[in-house]
Chain A
Amino acid sequence: MSFLRKSVHLLGSVARRQQHLKVIGGAISTAARDYSSKPSEDYANFPGAKAPFVSKLNLIQPEDYAPIPIYRVMDQDGYIADETQDPQLGREVVEKMFRDMVLLNTMDKILYESQRQGRISFYMTNFGEEASHIGSAAALEMRDLIYGQYREAGVLVWRGFRIDQFIDQCYGNTEDLGRGKQMPVHYGSRELNFVTISSPLSTQMPQAVGAAYAMKLKPNNDACVVCYFGEGAASEGDAHAAFNFAATLGSPVILFCRNNGFAISTPSHEQYKGDGIAGRGPMGYGITTIRVDGTDVFAVYNAMKAAREYVLKENKPVVFEALAYRVGHHSTSDDSTAYRPAEEIEVWNSVEHPISKLKRYMVHKGWFDEEVENEYVKDIRKKVLKQIAVSEKKLKPNWREMFEGVYAEMPQHLIEQRTELEKHIEAHKEHYPLKNFEK
């Protein structure tokens, strides 16, 4: 009996210490402050939570918590405020960061226009979020597995996905790795460890948690999983599932939220009332959390480095929120000036733009040559335009591939259906666009 009582006390004091650890920078609750003066005997013995009793009624208000601060390395003029936070990246790496962001931005502009001209059926740009992609991708290893939403093409750019691969996917031609089965921007690459994008929002989140769990069990695992999603997607039930499974089961996964202020037309204040997505991490799910300026490529880089190290060392998840602004329309099917002022967009497209910020940093360093960069942009434009001309002329895969990949092997009923269509097309070929498809 006495042993039991002792162990209960022990549990209480352990829980109390953990309580302190969970109070993160700037977010100290009044409730937590009250607890600290009480002796550990006051901890209640309910299995559902370890906490002290209080004798005064106190409704815990969201306002009792300070918002989680935003980690920033570089100000909008490209100056590093605290030298200890300078990642000290070499010129070569910074130049790759800059050029990959520019490449993505340039490709986006042209592909967006080509959709407007009816040359591809659909497109989604990445304007304003380039630093979240590149900064995070640069801090990872190629063996780390990526699950994305659809606005993370920069991660692929960093990993070496080529312009022709992007554009071939948008055209669904015979070179498309996805065999023309999905809409444009639904990229995937086995080689680059980037799991194929799908349209249903947040479904990738519990999947990433499962993948991380399975990877954790492999001997000498040194790879983590990163799952990207928007702040709108974080409202889905799957996001809740992912946060909670990752925490309870211990998955080395970085749950990376791109909070860009909008889900199509819905502003974030209609999406949630708490402290963004980061606010859900520490108290809500018991997950270590980081919030960064997503327009600052160095802040994203540093934070991802730390997050990666943490998840692999601890076999626990991290909630990572990168704040940015969706400068472009949601997609080519959207005109965002219908729900937000053009002046607001302009601010984020100039002084607050991630590419401008890095450019200013490079100017201070003496690493920026206007002429060389203009040439680079011109060259990328030329390559993208040329690739569009090439990709749109390429044939689509043989239409019979429509029946392939449903199952690992084609079952009898699909073989029969394919034969039925073969016979039909043979008899009515003039009604089908056969010349555009491989024979």
Chain B
Amino acid sequence: MNIKTAQLGHSLHNCIRSNIKCSLGSRSHFTYYPTSLGSGKRMNMFNAINNAMDLALDEDKSALLFGEDVGFGGVFRCSVNLRDKYGSQRVFNTPLCEQGIAGFAIGVANTGATAIAEIQFADYIFPSFDQIVNEAAKYRYRSGGLFDCGSLTFRVPCGAVGHGALYHSQSPEAYFAHTPGLRVVVPRGPIKAKGLILACIRDPNPCIVFEPKTLYRAAVEDVPTEYYTSQLGKADILRHGKDVTLIGWGTQVHVLLEVAETAKLKLNIDCEVIDLVSILPWDTDAICTSAKKTGRVIIAHEAPLTQGFGSELASYIQEKCFLHLEAPVKRVTGWDTPFPHVFEPFYMPDKHRCLSAINDIVNF
């Protein structure tokens, strides 16, 4: 299984079908760039997540799946049919209470059983912030290793969706990136989502998988049906280039891939596009290697600028790659406002803002 995993991880590089563009309607701010492994079953991201949880529940009899409205299949259909297959003792609804879901999940994991907990929207993860930050993240450390909740995984839909406004659009990864003891990952599509979820379930640390909800239906790929894991803490270089490094995660990766294509066609600029994948711990080596090669770095994320995870990347790159940089590290992000409803097209770090940043940074 490990060999298969390693092969899969390896073949994820250089396998973006850059000539295929999906029609996603006029509201979408991105074009989906599917990952192709050459075989597998056609699945969108919620199918792939469903498949991952199906395999996890089948493989590990102690595994429990729960959250608000999980029983009937979930509001995004990720857990559809799983209650029928594994029973209502293993796949079940909880009362509507995020701090309870998180605390309950920690307790399940304390006994060594596997907990897959869903928080319905990332925007509603804050009531469980105390349980995640003060408890889950510190369990092993504070007990000197006597107790832990490593068999715990949170699945959390996140990110812009076109019309989600303040409380159905947020990307709160930076809040959690400041918490030692957690793993935080963000998939960019079905293949990655399945691999990351299975890796997180098996990882002996509490993990949060932020799933960009706009991809649930929009992202379609041929996903291997067998069990595989995606490496945690490892970034994916999706496009090689020598002039500018573009770093993003989740949906933003697809914005950056389109930007890189446009920059090549219109400006003859070679962009390297990196999907960071893991927010914590993150792949410092991949980022610094690329930054040293290109000398120019743009980081793009949907979350607000100030104290967004781009700040951590920028300061680390500045510290470790200072002599290689030809221009200041540039961040293209959401604005320092709550996420707005009707103004969403003006809020997003869209391809035009990213392309404009490339122009600025090469002419610095």
Q: What chain A residues lie within 8 Å of B146 (beta carbons)?
A: 177-178, 188-190, 196
Please state if A181 and B131 are interface contacts (CB–CB under 8 Å): no
Please state if B97 and A240 are interface contacts (CB–CB under 8 Å): yes
A133-175 interface code vs B (CB 8 A; 1 in, 0 out): 0000000000001010000000000000000000000000000
Please state if B281 and A209 are interface contacts (CB–CB under 8 Å): no
B127, CB-defined interface residue at 8 Å: yes
Q: What chain B residues lie within 8 Å of A209 (beta carbons)?
A: 100, 103-104, 107
Please state if B142 and A196 are interface contacts (CB–CB under 8 Å): yes
B76, CB-defined interface residue at 8 Å: no
Q: How far is the CA of A181 from the CA of B284 in the complex (A)?
A: 28
Taking a contact as CB atoms closer than 8 A, the residue among B104, B127, B148, B285 that contacts A237 in the complex is B127
Size category of the A interface is 35 or more
Please state if A405 and B140 are interface contacts (CB–CB under 8 Å): yes
A214, CB-defined interface residue at 8 Å: yes
Please state if B147 and A190 are interface contacts (CB–CB under 8 Å): yes
Interface size on B, residues (CB 8 A): 49
Minimum C-beta distance from B251 to chain A (A): 26
A317, CB-defined interface residue at 8 Å: no
B26, CB-defined interface residue at 8 Å: no
Q: What chain B residues lie within 8 Å of A211 (beta carbons)?
A: 107-108, 110-111
Identify the stretch in A123-131, A330-338, A406-414 within 8 Å (CB) of chain B at 4 or more residues: A406-414
Please state if A242 and B144 are interface contacts (CB–CB under 8 Å): no
Q: How far is the CA of A99 from the CA of B249 in the complex (A)?
A: 61
Q: What chain A residues lie within 8 Å of B104 (beta carbons)?
A: 206-207, 209-210, 213, 241, 245, 249
Please state if B281 and A248 are interface contacts (CB–CB under 8 Å): no
Q: How far is the CA of A177 from the CA of B183 in the complex (A)?
A: 25
Please state if A238 and B110 are interface contacts (CB–CB under 8 Å): no
Q: How far is the CA of A213 from the CA of B204 in the complex (A)?
A: 21
Q: A214-B64, A244-B95 are in contact. Are A196 and B143 (CB under 8 A)?
A: yes
Q: A198-B142, A248-B95, A413-B281 are in contact. Are A213 and B107 (CB under 8 A)?
A: yes
Please state if B95 and A408 are interface contacts (CB–CB under 8 Å): no
Taking a contact as CB atoms closer than 8 A, the residue among B95, B113, B135, B147 that contacts A188 in the complex is B147
Q: What chain A residues lie within 8 Å of B127 (beta carbons)?
A: 237
Please state if A210 and B108 are interface contacts (CB–CB under 8 Å): yes
Q: What chain B residues lie within 8 Å of A360 (beta carbons)?
A: none
Minimum C-beta distance from A245 to chain B (A): 5
**Which residue of the partner chain A has the closest CB to B87?**
A217
Q: How far is the CA of A205 from the CA of B145 in the complex (A)?
A: 21
Q: What chain B residues lie within 8 Å of A413 (beta carbons)?
A: 281, 284
Please state if A178 and B100 are interface contacts (CB–CB under 8 Å): no
B92-119 interface code vs A (CB 8 A; 1 in, 0 out): 1011010110111111111101010000
Residues 201 to 259 of chain A near chain B (Cβ within 8 Å): 203, 205-215, 217, 237-238, 240-242, 244-245, 248-249
A186, CB-defined interface residue at 8 Å: yes
Please state if A214 and B97 are interface contacts (CB–CB under 8 Å): no
Residues 180 to 206 of chain A near chain B (Cβ within 8 Å): 181-182, 186, 188-190, 195-196, 198, 200, 203, 205-206
Please state if B97 and A179 are interface contacts (CB–CB under 8 Å): no
B132-150 interface code vs A (CB 8 A; 1 in, 0 out): 0011001111111111101
Please state if B99 and A237 are interface contacts (CB–CB under 8 Å): yes
Please state if B141 and A198 are interface contacts (CB–CB under 8 Å): no
A176, CB-defined interface residue at 8 Å: yes
Minimum C-beta distance from B137 to chain A (A): 8
Q: What chain A residues lie within 8 Å of B62 (beta carbons)?
A: 214, 217
Q: How far is the CA of A186 from the CA of B130 in the complex (A)?
A: 18
Residues 67 to 109 of chain B near chain A (Cβ within 8 Å): 89-90, 92, 94-95, 97, 99-100, 102-109
Please state if B140 and A210 are interface contacts (CB–CB under 8 Å): no
Q: What chain A residues lie within 8 Å of B89 (beta carbons)?
A: 217
Taking a contact as CB atoms closer than 8 A, the residue among B92, B100, B148 that contacts A408 in the complex is B148
Please state if A176 and B94 are interface contacts (CB–CB under 8 Å): no
Q: How far is the CA of A182 from the CA of B139 in the complex (A)?
A: 11
Minimum C-beta distance from A155 to chain B (A): 16
Minimum C-beta distance from A10 to chain B (A): 23
Minimum C-beta distance from A411 to chain B (A): 4
Taking a contact as CB atoms closer than 8 A, the residue among B99, B147, B183, B281 that contacts A206 in the complex is B99
Q: What chain B residues lie within 8 Å of A203 (beta carbons)?
A: 103, 130-131, 134-135
Please state if A200 and B92 are interface contacts (CB–CB under 8 Å): no
Interface centre among A178, A200, A208, A406 (most CB of B within 10 A): A406
Minimum C-beta distance from B82 to chain A (A): 16
B181, CB-defined interface residue at 8 Å: yes
Residues 319 to 352 of chain B near chain A (Cβ within 8 Å): none
Interface centre among B64, B100, B138, B183 (most CB of A within 10 A): B100
Q: How far is the CA of A261 from the CA of B94 in the complex (A)?
A: 32
Please state if A245 and B141 are interface contacts (CB–CB under 8 Å): no
Q: How far is the CA of A211 from the CA of B64 in the complex (A)?
A: 12
Q: What chain A residues lie within 8 Å of B135 (beta carbons)?
A: 198, 200, 203, 207
Residue pairs across A and B with Cβ atoms less than 8 A apart, 11 shown, are A179-B145, A182-B142, A190-B146, A196-B143, A203-B103, A207-B104, A210-B107, A211-B110, A214-B115, A217-B64, A237-B97
List A residues at the B interface (Cβ < 8 Å). 145, 147, 176-179, 181-182, 186, 188-190, 195-196, 198, 200, 203, 205-215, 217, 237-238, 240-242, 244-245, 248-249, 405-409, 411-413
**Inter-chain pairs besides A241-B100, A408-B140, 4 sampled, C-beta below 8 Å:** A198-B134, A206-B131, A207-B106, A245-B100
Instruction: List the 3 closest pairs (A to B, CB-CB), nearest first.
Output: A210-B107, A206-B103, A241-B100
